[in-house]
Amino acid sequence: MTYRLDAQLAAAYERYAAKRPHSQALFDQACRVLPGGSTRSVLDFSPFSFRVARAEGSRLVDVDGHEYVDFLGDYSAGLLGHDPGPVAAAVHAALDRGWSFGATHVDEIRLAELVCQRYPSIDQVRFTNSGTEANLMALQLARHCTGRDRIAVFDGAYHGGLLYFGHGGEALQAPFDYLRLPYNDLHGVCAALDDTVDDVAALIVEPMMGAAGCIPAEPGFLAGLRDACDRTGALLIFDEVMTSRMSAGGVQLRSGVLPDLTTLGKFLAGGMTFGAFGGRADLMAAFDPHRGGELTHGGTFNNNVVTMAGGVAALSELLSADVLDALFVRGEDLRARVATVLERSTLPLSVSGMGSMFTIHSVRGPARSPADLVGADQALKELLFHHLVERGIFLAARGFVAMSLAIGDDDCDVFVDALADSVTTIETAV
């Protein structure tokens, strides 16, 4: 199907740029010292990204004074919204006590206890500075513990800047020997794994593929992976960097399927820099010199006081099981309303996701694996994004939404209305 989308998109760029002279000037300035004008590629979009001046509750305000309802929630790190008082208070109090100790302190024990209590597979945990680092550590730990080399991953998966298995990810991939598997295809997984000579150290999986398009594992898939790992001796790693929000104990608590190792990141330290990997005590013992562990785990900022204090406040004061369960339901509701709008449209649009995270796709769907999204209409996706931004809704340019606790029912209504209006406007102009 051919649409007259290019002209619509060019017009949308023009309207966008005309209203944002300050962001445009800052983009030009930034490009002189930051490649592409930013330091996190996923934040870039055309013609240039607006620059945020301040944030409050569920709102972002850019340097040109435009206000947006923030449905991106910093790709999940902003789960608490923009002004969670208890986190701010804990961070300020921590700074009052001083930082850069170069020594152990109390908050790291409290945060570790809170994480271990929540995630059923985590007996012991180590902190890192990002989800990427957590995944790299978990993979190397698995290779060390099993004495095996290969890493089984899913096509299209994203486990961090150095562990991206989608289109264009190869150049920066950490150089492991990978076995690539098809998501939500247990037969394919088993055939590939059984074909190996038991040389796979770990199988790493997102219980819902995040960056690939919010594609949830289908019923039975995770349990099937657990069996396949038990059969072949590979360790099962759940990358719950994204999905840890799906309940107090992530998808592992929801599904009852327990991995050997789990990685975490994003919102768990209340929006401060965070990553963690943890799991079975016998595996984590590799980092314990008192139990004969041979591995060292470096990281100047692993126990930085801001993150540790923010994490303790977030987990002990804000993120109860009830709060996370309610957010899950709110997300399921909103996704159902979004699906209704998209199903009514003549455009090839669909939505997939779980709980408070979803992605709007420019294919008819359903999206069961990244392969189902190969033919997505990029111009349509971008145009829809621009229409939503024009209506004061911020989400990822790729159509991704991660709802925060600050998003209320009114915000959801605004989102659905803006989406319906955007879709109709595009349809009418085609």
Closest-by-Cβ residue to ligand PMP is 131
Pick from 7, 40, 13, 66: nearest CA to 385: 13
355, 327 Cβ separation under 8 angstroms: yes
Looking from the CA of 269 toward its CB, the CA atoms found within 13 Å total 26
Counting contacts by CB under 6 A, is residue 74 touching ligand PMP? no
Binding mask 219-248 for ligand PMP (x = CB under 6 A): --------------------x-xx------
* 16 belongs to the catalytic site: no
Nearer to ligand PMP, 278 or 412 (CB): 278
* 158 belongs to the catalytic site: yes
Residues in 179-198 that interact with ligand PMP by CB under 6 A: none
DSSP state of 158: B
CA atoms of 19 and 8, how far apart (whole Å): 17
The residue within the footprint of ligand PMP, chosen from 74, 107, 185, 206 (CB under 6 A), is 206
306, 94 Cβ separation under 8 angstroms: yes
Which ranges in 248-406 belong to alpha helices (H)? 250-255, 281-284, 305-313, 321-344, 378-390
Catalytic residue, chosen from 16, 68, 75, 158, is: 158
Cis-peptide into 175, omega within 30 deg: no
Counting contacts by CB under 6 A, is residue 132 touching ligand PMP? yes
CA atoms of 143 and 145, how far apart (whole Å): 6
Binding mask 143-172 for ligand PMP (x = CB under 6 A): ---------------xxx------------
Nearer to ligand PMP, 182 or 207 (CB): 207
Which ranges in 162-210 belong to alpha helices (H)? 186-194
The residue within the footprint of ligand PMP, chosen from 75, 183, 277, 385 (CB under 6 A), is 75
Helix (H) or strand (E) holding 203: strand 200-205
User: What residues are paired with 56 via a beta bridge?
Assistant: 59
In the complex, what is the shortest distance from the CB of residue 211 to ligand PMP, in angstroms, rounded to a whole number? 5
CA atoms of 341 and 335, how far apart (whole Å): 10
In the complex, what is the shortest distance from the CB of residue 164 to ligand PMP, in angstroms, rounded to a whole number? 9
The residue within the footprint of ligand PMP, chosen from 81, 207, 210, 271 (CB under 6 A), is 210
Residues in 257-276 that interact with ligand PMP by CB under 6 A: 265, 275
Give the contacts of 101 (CB within 8 A, at least 6 positions apart). 305
208, 217 Cβ separation under 8 angstroms: yes
Counting contacts by CB under 6 A, is residue 354 touching ligand PMP? no
Q: Which stretch binds ligand PMP (CB under 6 A): 90-98, 205-213, 225-233, 343-351?
A: 205-213
What residues make contact with ligand PMP under the rule CB under 6 A? 75, 130-132, 135, 158-160, 206, 210-211, 239, 241-242, 265, 275
Question: What amino acid positions are annotated as catalytic residues?
Answer: 158, 239, 266
